[in-house]
Amino acid sequence: MSSPLDIERVRADFPILKTEVRGKPLVFLDSAASAQKPRQVMEAMVRHYETGYANIHRGVYQLSQVSTQAFEATREKVARFLGAADTREIIFTRNATEGVNLVAQTWGRTNVGPGDEILITQMEHHANIVPWQMLCEQTGAMLRVVPIDDRGVLIMDELEKLLTPRTKLVGLTHVSNALGTINPVQEITAMAHEVGAVVLVDGAQAAPHLRIDVSELDCDFYVITAHKIFGPTGIGVLYGKLSLLEEMPPYQGGGDMIEQVTFEKTTYAPVPTKFEAGTPDINGVVGLGAAIDYIEDLGIDAIAAHEHDLLEYATKKLGAIEGLRIIGTAPNKASVVSFVLDFAHPHDVGTILDQDGIALRTGHHCAQPVMDRFGVAATARASFSIYNTREEVDILVASIAKVRELFT
């Protein structure tokens, strides 16, 4: 078991936490949208630009080789971070969203047809809904949805009923961005495989909080994004089982993803290069590698323990506020607390809390079907990370008391 986090040391790694907002110390509670960046990540990216940058895979000169080595070293780190069996199973994308779209438009267009079904859940982010709707429109397949209960937990009996031989793919989130619910991915994957379906897991919200082992989960595809794990924006990862990736057609055409080009015919490079057309965000990949180093240095078990403590503390404190209702009360949750107040709209809450330097997200969180399920237009969402403290939870609670004074 990893040792507990030294929170003061961790907070010192994040320069932005020294920022003041409207004369108040920043209390950043929106890591579910995008995590802040430690100096180690920023320094790695600056160092690469200053000492090791060149285009990759194409140059025979030393600087190009150095840059290529740095890029491919991150692929190895990602494979280890996700528990992939082979580095060729790691595809760099712009974000998790592009990873989902890549699978929908390559594996999906090849393997899904009229009368087939795509099964997703009621708690999905729009990024794991819209690409499948588009695929259904293109192919004549049907979209099916697994409902959730009043706690924000999947109704497994309904999932079992919806899984049939017509199910070609199951797409589900590992951790709900709007509710915090952690789904039983390994169990669902086994159920899906029994009917011959493949499984894509949206791991964008899981990667900052949980130990991930795709080999143990046995999912077929898994997507993450760098900016939620303390890395830069513009970089994501698609993991796919090698046998599936090798059968899938390219997603985009262009430089580096080819083997041979003539005007008559083009042949494609092997995986993973086949799916990485054009010059990538090389320095962003270097930053992703540094972010993984940072997480592994702290230890995912220590991170999870700290965030679970914050979740329990915040749930108790917020739950004691009269007129506050927590949306999402699953027994197995990540460090997200969404709530509504019966005396103020979430957007007003966010605006007033900003006066106290508190940054938290209000709205539908790109999960409008979740809002519809709970009969609300929006929620206020406090999401906690490694740099947050119990004292910041107390500041949040005190600021909500000010909202009550203004509206009652």
Give the number of C-alpha atoms closer than 13 A to the C-alpha of residue 364, restricted to the C-beta side: 16
Distance CA 25, CA 154 (A): 39
Distance CA 102, CA 92 (A): 11
The 3-state secondary structure of the chain reads: CCCCCCHHHHHHCCHHHHCEECCEECEECECCCCCCCCHHHHHHHHHHHHHCCCCCCCCCCHHHHHHHHHHHHHHHHHHHHHCCCCHHHEEEECCHHHHHHHHHHHHHHHHCCCCCEEEEECCCCHHHCHHHHHHHHHHCCEEEEECECCCCCECHHHHHHHCCCCEEEEEEECECCCCCEECCHHHHHHHHHHCCCEEEEECCCCCCCCCCCHHHHCCCEEEEEHHHHCCCCCCEEEEECHHHHHHCCCCCCCCCCEEEECCCCEEECCCCHHHCCCCCCHHHHHHHHHHHHHHHHHCHHHHHHHHHHHHHHHHHHHHCCCCEEEECCCCCECCEEEEEECCECHHHHHHHHHCCCEECEEECCCCHHHHHHHCCCCEEEEECCCCCCHHHHHHHHHHHHHHHHHHC
User: Is residue 366 annotated as a catalytic residue, yes or no?
Assistant: yes
- From the list 366, 368, 389, 397, the catalytic residue is 366
Q: Write the burial class of residue 307 (CB in 10 Å: 0-12 exposed, 13-18 middle, 19+ buried).
A: buried
**Could you list the active site residues?**
366
